[in-house]
Structure 1
Amino acid sequence: MSVLPPRKLSLGVPAVAALLALSACGGGDSPSGESPEPGSGGAGDISLAVQAAPNSLDPAQLNDGQQRYIWGSVYDTLLYPGEDGALQPNAAESWEYSEDARTLTLDLRDGMTFSDGDPVTAEAVKTTLERTRTTVGPQQGNLAAVESIDTPDEDTVVLNLSSPDPNLLGSLAQGAGVIGDPDTIDSPDTALDPVGSGAYVLDQDATVAGSSYVLERRDDHWNADAYPFETVTVRVIADRTAAVNALLAGEVDAGGVDAAQAKQAEAAGLGVTVVEGQGVGGLVLADRGGQVAPELADVRVRQAINLALDRQGFVDAILQGLGTPTTQIFNPASQAYVEALDEEYPHDPERARELLAEAGYADGFTLELPANLIVQNFQPSITQALEDVGITVEWQPVTMQTNVQTTDWAGYFNIGSVAPPARTAALYYAPGGSHNPFGYQDPELDALLEEAANTVDPDEAAEIYQEINEFGVDNALFAPIFALSQGWALAPGVTFEGTANSPQDIRSFGAE
């Protein structure tokens, strides 16, 4: 499977709602109070901005996503998400599952130290993981399968699982896999001034919590060469327009741009790189048992909905080219992606009407869906597409704070970000997954999920997740519409080297 590489954008395109942007970047001040020189690269600085401050820098309270730009600089994770979707060694130099997938052994890299000079040991890893799995917080559930942890020597950590967990390795490459200093981890100061083994330390004198975070590189870090910037400034700029204006004014080095802003960035002399497959948008047809909408219990109805959607039209008219049509939940850079599946549901309203008639709905039916800001730009087109085949959509306004992933709604529009196949399967297919609120199960699907959970070979697991993907498309469990692309505007001398699989991490940026 080939990874979709970044590509250069050579034309400007109209705007998509700011909510579609997976990240935003902007300007920041240097420790001296003077703005760092944009594009200095190399031994210089880089300044980024995010739309929200970290809720905490306590290992047990970390959120994945944008906040990783900060905590991912302060902490090492045990593993690291590779650009091709495969996990790479990081603080753990190697790892191995037992044959029954209930024991995971991690061998730590030699010579790692915390920012205070203390060595990173297996006991430090155990202390952090034990604390995270027993502390209520965003990462606790990711370690739910861990029953106990052994440290047979200073460099070896053994996780004993209550049952196989295909999500565990991916979680150890995210917030659940950081390593905190056992001497300070329980201190209240850890939330704002942590001691980690990462490539940077937080400059407390220059940092204003919730507003601006200044990170200074540790030249003694084992992987310092992967971080070309001596100083990283991350500022919180909630207003996306303000962040982009700072970028266009030359006050920042890199920034996320939507379709409209790409043209402005190019006109201002900035380079624009587009990373394809950053997320998948479409309808989650959650009520496959027909509890709220009896019509959705018939696979022919769900297939009709898929056939009613002109996916290329959505990409052309709304995304204006900043995306690709798709019929599958797994994004194009995923190891579970099957290219041929995107041909399964061509735009065919006539066939959609035939399927509805076969299912007993020749006169159509009404479907209630929640309407929040995420779906706003797509709402009219979805309404028209389904109305053309006889399905009337009644949109019920809800706030962004409303959880639409409940049994109150037969389905909903969602834009999902990139995740490893195991994580995507757990969220969308497993009975307890957040995008499976009705707990849909099928014997064939259950067998595939169990097989994937018990498979420790990555290549074999990828093949099983492709089968899961095929099951989802064949049974029209979802109605995906597009794989979203993300634009980055970059000052001269700064490059973006990540792919759709890359985490939001300083390592994705480079210097020419």
Structure 2
Amino acid sequence: MALSVVTINAAIAAALTAATSLIALPAEAQQPERPLRLVLNVGLQTLDPVAGPTFVTRNFSYMVFDTLVAVDSQGRYRPQMLENWRTSDDGLIWTFTLRDGLEFSDGAPVTAEDCVASLRRWGARDSLGRRLMAATKEMRAVDTRTFVLELSRPFGLILEALGKPSVQVPFIMPARLAANTPPTTPVAEVVGSGPFLFLRDQWIPGERAVFARNPRYRPRDEPADGLAGGKVPKMERVEFINMSDPGLRTAAIQRGEVDYLEYAPIDYIPVIQGDRNLVLSRARGGAEIVGGISINYHQPPFDNVLVRRAVQQIMERNEIIAAEGVPAELSRPDCRSLYACGTFYASETGTEPMRNTDIERARELLRQAGYKGERVVVMQPSDSPLINPIGLVMIDRLKQAGFNLDVQTSDWSSLAQRWIQRRPVDQGGWSLLPIIYTGFDLANPLSNPSIGYNCTDNQPWGYCVPEMTRVIERFEAEGDAERRREIAGELQRISMDQAIFPLAGQFASPAVWRAELRGVVDFGFPVLWNIERSGR
């Protein structure tokens, strides 16, 4: 339950001394050029945006890499590394031209060959990327700045694929790395063409990552807008910090010892709202959080749709959101859309299985499925303030329904490594994992984890529904946005019927930053270019 404001204030007061002692700030912290400090939701472990399908790796990657296409605050796809693109009359041939003068952090020029290699590696891993590659006849460099993507069949989401904003993002890296590293193996070097440099020698995995302004970066001329426009790095140094305790986070930002929290601790939002020195993000829709359960389809008993539907029936969204302590104005317990309410494809089509969840119905489904008490391994991330409450409610209701649970609690980084592996439960495997996505990750059917990975055999989303395959093919080929919206409804119906991704509810967990920061791009996840301190 949410804490009272009095209790919260007392907790913050108790944390102030701890905040001062735990955040070992160097002497430069009192100087105008002190680093911009961002507190992440969880610690950074993986440095590769293709091999590491997590928010924290995405945040890291936007610092050091760049994209060909970027989405602005209005949802429009605009050139970023590209100067322009053109298409053939039949829409099957796309020609892309890079901006002149782009360089990687090692001094090498960015070339069309780098783009082709990076897209191929991303396309072997990401759900939307796989769909694009399957529709591609050929992708080739024409000269140093130009490459061609030729389709074998119509594919109506080229720009949406190249400008995909969240996990997994098609960032560009040198061909020498992209072409020679399997997509599930992290690259050996961090070499990008983004606005900041990663200082690897100062990295403490899971605790701290340090960045410096990239002097080789060439921002676009237009103003920053969402992820598009001029990414001007105005701070000389940026630090990512992991601080698991919510009270400590709040105390630290109130004291000015950190500048930006990826997520405002939900129980402390009333205090943050009353502090004139802090600014709470207003980004909604795609920026909101959607919770759910990742199901391992490779492990019995979840290869049985009735057992999956039993899990779907225990998901009482009002109870889960209450456990999060989300203020009423920041929650959407009535949202049932797989695509996240407030985004383009959101609808009520096919959402009947989520309308009247009931534990007794879950018990009946388990009886019909012939469930014999097989062990179900639930991985519970204890260090995530957002995921932990979802898991606690889910675990309690799964037990009430009759599941035989083996709850294994650990930090998110450790569980994330197990999540992408395929092992039997008696050899370190898993069955269920509470998880969160942003609306950005769910908004397009081809990037939505409950649809886009259909029949791709990509762990952790190992489901395969032949009916869904046929509808996805229609969606991919459709060029009209309104017609695609109708087809998206059909896909949602199939996914809900198969109980692929039971939803835990939608809510806002906004970012918060110090009011002295100017130029903050309020997008829905940390965008750290364009920021400077007032008075500089």
Structure 2 residue aligned with 1:106: 96
Superposition pairs for residues 107-506 of structure 1, below 5 Å?
A: 107-109=97-99, 111-114=100-103, 124-130=111-117, 133=120, 142=129, 145=134, 148-152=138-142, 156-160=146-150, 169-170=159-160, 172-173=162-163, 177-179=170-172, 194=191, 196=193, 198=194, 200-202=195-197, 208-210=202-204, 211-215=209-213, 221-223=219-221, 225-226=223-224, 227=231, 230-241=234-245, 244-256=250-262, 257-266=264-273, 268=275, 269-273=277-281, 275-276=283-284, 277-284=287-294, 287=297, 292-293=300-301, 296-298=304-306, 305-321=311-327, 323-325=331-333, 326-339=335-348, 345-347=354-356, 349=358, 353=360, 361=368, 366=373, 368-374=375-381, 376-385=388-397, 391-398=401-408, 400=415, 401-403=417-419, 406=422, 411-417=432-438, 418-419=440-441, 420-421=443-444, 422-424=446-448, 429-432=453-456, 434=458, 437-443=461-467, 445-494=468-517, 496-500=520-524, 504-506=526-528
- Rounded to whole Å, the distance in 1 between the matches of 2:369 and 2:202 is 62
Q: By how many angstroms is 1:337 displaced?
A: 1.6
Q: 1:249 to 1:218 in 2, by over 3 A?
A: farther
Structure 2 residue aligned with 1:3: none
| C-alpha contact 2:37 2:259 (8 A) present in aligned 1 | yes
2:197 is aligned with what amino acid? L
- Rounded to whole Å, the distance in 1 between the matches of 2:516 and 2:341 is 29
| C-alpha contact 1:79 1:177 (8 A) present in aligned 2 | no
2:202 is aligned with what amino acid? V
SS state of the match for residue 235, structure 1?
A: strand
SS state of the match for residue 159, structure 1?
A: strand
Which one has the bigger helix percentage? Answer: 2
- Rounded to whole Å, the distance in 2 between the matches of 1:28 and 1:91 is 38
Q: By how many angstroms is 1:125 displaced?
A: 2.4
SS state of the match for residue 403, structure 2?
A: strand
Q: 1:62 to 1:125 in 2, by over 3 A?
A: farther
- Rounded to whole Å, the distance in 2 between the matches of 1:410 and 1:70 is 29
Q: By how many angstroms is 1:489 displaced?
A: 1.8
Q: By how many angstroms is 1:12 displaced?
A: 10
Q: 1:428 to 1:106 in 2, by over 3 A?
A: closer
SS state of the match for residue 418, structure 2?
A: coil
- Rounded to whole Å, the distance in 1 between the matches of 2:173 and 2:196 is 13
2:291 is aligned with what amino acid? G
Q: 1:130 to 1:293 in 2, by over 3 A?
A: closer
Q: By how many angstroms is 1:448 displaced?
A: 0.7
- Rounded to whole Å, the distance in 2 between the matches of 1:265 and 1:328 is 30
Note the residue ranges of structure 1 that are not aligned, 5 or more in a row: 1-9, 15-25, 39-43
| C-alpha contact 2:323 2:389 (8 A) present in aligned 1 | no
Q: By how many angstroms is 1:259 displaced?
A: 0.7
SS state of the match for residue 66, structure 1?
A: helix
- Rounded to whole Å, the distance in 1 between the matches of 2:236 and 2:38 is 8
- Rounded to whole Å, the distance in 1 between the matches of 2:495 and 2:530 is 32
Q: 1:505 to 1:303 in 2, by over 3 A?
A: same
- Rounded to whole Å, the distance in 1 between the matches of 2:475 and 2:530 is 30
- Rounded to whole Å, the distance in 2 between the matches of 1:55 and 1:328 is 31
2:418 is aligned with what amino acid? T
| C-alpha contact 2:116 2:147 (8 A) present in aligned 1 | no
SS state of the match for residue 478, structure 1?
A: coil
Q: By how many angstroms is 1:396 displaced?
A: 1.1
- Rounded to whole Å, the distance in 1 between the matches of 2:418 and 2:177 is 37
Q: Render the CA deviation track for 1:106-152: whole Å, top value 9, x for unaligned.
A: 2444x45437999977xx02234326636999789947556643344
| C-alpha contact 1:77 1:91 (8 A) present in aligned 2 | yes
SS state of the match for residue 448, structure 1?
A: helix
- Rounded to whole Å, the distance in 2 between the matches of 1:95 and 1:354 is 53
Q: 1:450 to 1:265 in 2, by over 3 A?
A: same
1:332 is aligned with what amino acid? C
Q: By how many angstroms is 1:466 displaced?
A: 3.0
Q: By how many angstroms is 1:320 displaced?
A: 3.0
- Rounded to whole Å, the distance in 1 between the matches of 2:495 and 2:124 is 31
- Rounded to whole Å, the distance in 2 between the matches of 1:220 and 1:362 is 59
Question: How many residues are treated as equivalent by the alignment?
Answer: 467
Q: 1:481 to 1:432 in 2, by over 3 A?
A: same
Higher relative contact order (CA 8 A, sep 6+): 1
1:238 is aligned with what amino acid? N
- Rounded to whole Å, the distance in 2 between the matches of 1:186 and 1:348 is 47
| C-alpha contact 1:275 1:499 (8 A) present in aligned 2 | yes
SS state of the match for residue 312, structure 1?
A: helix
TM-score for both structures, normalised by structure 1:
0.70
Q: 1:492 to 1:370 in 2, by over 3 A?
A: same
Structure 2 residue aligned with 1:4: none
- Rounded to whole Å, the distance in 1 between the matches of 2:492 and 2:463 is 18
- Rounded to whole Å, the distance in 1 between the matches of 2:50 and 2:354 is 43
| C-alpha contact 1:127 1:182 (8 A) present in aligned 2 | yes
Q: Render the CA deviation track for 1:247-281: whole Å, top value 9, x for unaligned.
A: 23212322132212334434554222354453321
| C-alpha contact 2:453 2:461 (8 A) present in aligned 1 | no
- Rounded to whole Å, the distance in 2 between the matches of 1:367 and 1:184 is 44
- Rounded to whole Å, the distance in 2 between the matches of 1:13 and 1:159 is 58
SS state of the match for residue 231, structure 1?
A: coil
| C-alpha contact 1:307 1:346 (8 A) present in aligned 2 | no
1:372 is aligned with what amino acid? M
| C-alpha contact 1:62 1:138 (8 A) present in aligned 2 | no
Q: By how many angstroms is 1:311 displaced?
A: 1.4
Note the residue ranges of structure 2 that are not aligned, 5 or more in a row: 9-21, 181-186, 225-230, 382-386
TM-score for both structures, normalised by structure 2:
0.67
Q: By how many angstroms is 1:78 displaced?
A: 0.3
| C-alpha contact 1:216 1:230 (8 A) present in aligned 2 | no
Q: 1:35 to 1:186 in 2, by over 3 A?
A: farther
Q: By how many angstroms is 1:423 displaced?
A: 1.3
Q: 1:166 to 1:246 in 2, by over 3 A?
A: farther
Q: By how many angstroms is 1:102 displaced?
A: 5.8
